[in-house]
Every structure is written in structure tokens, then in C-alpha cells.
Amino acid sequence: MPTSTSEKRVFWFDDHKTPNVADVLAHAADFVVHRLAFNAPEAANWAVMAHCHAYCITSARDEVPDQYKGTAELIARCPALLVISTSGAGYDPVDVVACTAAGVLVVNQSGANAEAVAEHTVAMMLTLTKNIMQTDHSLRKERGVDRERFKGRNAQGRTVGIIGLGNVGRQVARICSKGLDMRVLAYDPYLTAAEFQERGATQVDLDTLLAQSDFVTVHCPYNVETKGMIGQRELALMPRDAFLITTARGGIVEEGALAAALETKQIAGAGVDVWNVEPPPLEHPLLTFDNVIATYHTAGVTVDSRHLMAQWNAEQLVHIFQGRRPPRLVNPEAWEGFAQRFTQAFGFRPAS
């Protein structure tokens, strides 16, 4: 017979981010939130996890030890698990295929930090084109320098090429077009012509975008289609005075190819917020260039975005356990399997 309970059990590994979903869910009725620690004894963690219905996981893959990633092995050890909810837009630490096969929903908070990432992207663009980093470094350590050496270029009226015109890309398009009178090109094979027009961008193929843009900025998900999407061939298509900015996910831009393009002056500079390994080693080749802005995957890390991510995360879990379909469901094909397991656990069937 199905068992019914009103108590929803959630576990979250305390990563010291504030605010966070655990703080918000602590005030939700019928939710019990278990705050775990990666460095706690594994046996104690698994004893809690095995009985929980939801797992709130960070979106940054290198912040989660392998044994606590959302894999088939973890799902097998957590038979009550119904939902894995990521803290941000990304879901790199989660095996979505395994979750779908097991009837486990995956949800993200896509859009919660879009404005933060877009503003970071444009900040990188302006810093690069105005040579602000080089000027700052020089002013701190030398004198007798001709300031013409740091002469930059205006961004106004130039062309930005946006790879991925989703939540972040469309905000970059808005800032660049309305704030800087820039021409906006975009490549996104999943949007219609009407959606390009509504988001203020001209639809082009990837090669055209690379060849015609003064700034190329990457805002697509990391998956089998986009892994290594920007490599030696693609970088060679860019004008020599163009800049590349990547604030999406490490692995979309080939780091070795980017370093080589900077070494040969194939492109003028880069802004890199995301890395294959985060943080990158201190001896990473890209950290040796004074025309590279390097940040700690912090484009989306603002007080405002943290509030939104925590709130949206909690709201989606509340919706799910009320039997409602969540607004940011990554694997809708898992719904039927989830619904059957949810009914067994809580005694009523969620909406279709």
C-alpha cells in the first residue's frame, strides 16, 4: 500500500554561500532540511541522504566531490530521492540521463543570475577595449610611460556576437544595443527567427558571427554539442582586434587554443570567468597574459542573484511537493516516472 506523509526531507551540503536554499526552506511548512558537510564522516551523510526526497546541489561541478555528484550511484543509494535541484542555471554535477531513468526530476534556477552574468560580461568587454587592466598595472609600478600606449577603442557602434541567446545572452543584447548602440549578431540553433527579432539580435551562423564581431561572448550550456565548440579553427576566423569573453561554462572554449591565439596575436584579448578546472592552477598559460581578464567563476555571484537563486530554488521545491509541475524543469521526460514514485511516497498523484 502507498504510504502518505506530509514531511518532505531535503539535504544540502553547506558551501558557505549566503543566502541559500536551506535558509529559505527552513521557514517552509512540512519541510525538514538537513545541512550536511562534505568533510563530515561519509557514513553519517549517507544515513541522512538515504531517506531524503530532495537534494539541493551547487551548479559548480568542481565544488562537489565525486561521491556526492548526482550520479546513478548516488540515486541508487538514495531510494527516496525524487528531485535534484541545482543552485544556478548549470547542472554539470548531475547526470540528467540517470535521473530521468530513475524517475528523478532535475530542476535549475535558469535566469536567476542572468543580469549579474550579463553585466559582468559587458564589464569585461569595456575593460578589454579600454585597456584598463594594463593601465592600472602600469600606474602602480612605473613612471615615464606615454599614455598613448594604452589607447583603446570605443565600444559604441561596434559589433557584438552572442553565442547562445538565452537568459543571459538576451540581457547582453539588451545592454549592448540599448546602452552602447551596438550591432548585435547571435547564433543559437534552438531559437526561431521571431525569437531573434524579439531579443534584439540578427540571426547568423557561427562562422559569420566569429568573422564579423568585435566582441564574441559565449552564453550557451555545456553539453556534448558545445564541448570544445570554440577551438583553433573558430578563433582563426576572428579579426585580430577582436576580443573573446566566456562566462558560460569551462570546456566550451578550448583553453589551449585560446592561449595559442593570444600568443600569436590572432585575437586582441579575452575575458575568462569559467575554466576546465576551477580555480585554474596558478601556472595556467592564460594567467600569463596581461590582455586576459581572469575571474573565479564569479560572473553570477552577486548579493542580488544569490537572493533570487535561493528563493527560486525553494519555491520550485515547494511547487513540486504540492504536486505541481515546476517552471524550470530540465528533464520533463522524467515526469511520468516521478509521478508514480511521488504517488507512492505521498499518497496523491501530482498534476500532469
φ, ψ for residue 65 (rounded to 5)? Answer: -60, 150
Give this prediction's pTM.
Answer: 0.88
Other CB atoms within a 10 A radius of the CB of residue 28 amount to 16
Q: List, in sequence order, every residue forming a beta bridge with 272; answer none if it has no partner.
A: 246, 294
Question: Annotated catalytic, 219?
Answer: no
Distance of alpha carbon 269 from alpha carbon 240, whole angstroms: 9
Which CATH number is correct for 114-294, 3.40.50.720, 3.40.50.10800, 3.30.2350.10, 3.30.565.10?
A: 3.40.50.720
Block residue for cell numbers 536554499: 21
Contact by Cβ (8 Å): 242, 268: yes
Distance of alpha carbon 246 from alpha carbon 158, whole angstroms: 19
Distance of alpha carbon 246 from alpha carbon 272, whole angstroms: 5
Question: Annotated catalytic, 254?
Answer: no
- pLDDT by 10-residue block (mean), the chain, 352 residues: 66 91 92 96 98 95 93 98 94 95 97 96 98 96 95 97 97 98 98 97 98 98 94 98 97 98 98 96 97 96 94 96 96 97 95 82
Does 8-111+303-346 match 114-294 in CATH topology? Answer: yes
Question: Which residue out of 53, 199, 249, 306 is catalytically annotated?
Answer: 249
Distance of alpha carbon 165 from alpha carbon 186, whole angstroms: 7
Fold of 8-111+303-346: Rossmann fold (3.40.50)
Question: Which residue out of 120, 219, 297, 341 is catalytically annotated?
Answer: 297
Residue type, 127: T
Using DSSP, state whether 146 is helix, strand or coil. coil
Contact by Cβ (8 Å): 112, 312: yes
Cα–Cα distances in Å, from 343 out to 7, 60, 234, 330? 14, 32, 50, 21
Question: Which residue out of 278, 307, 315, 325 is catalytically annotated?
Answer: 278
What residue spans define the domains of the chain?
8-111+303-346, 114-294
Q: Where are the beta strands (DSSP E) in 100-200?
A: 105-107, 159-163, 183-187
pLDDT confidence of residue 5: 58
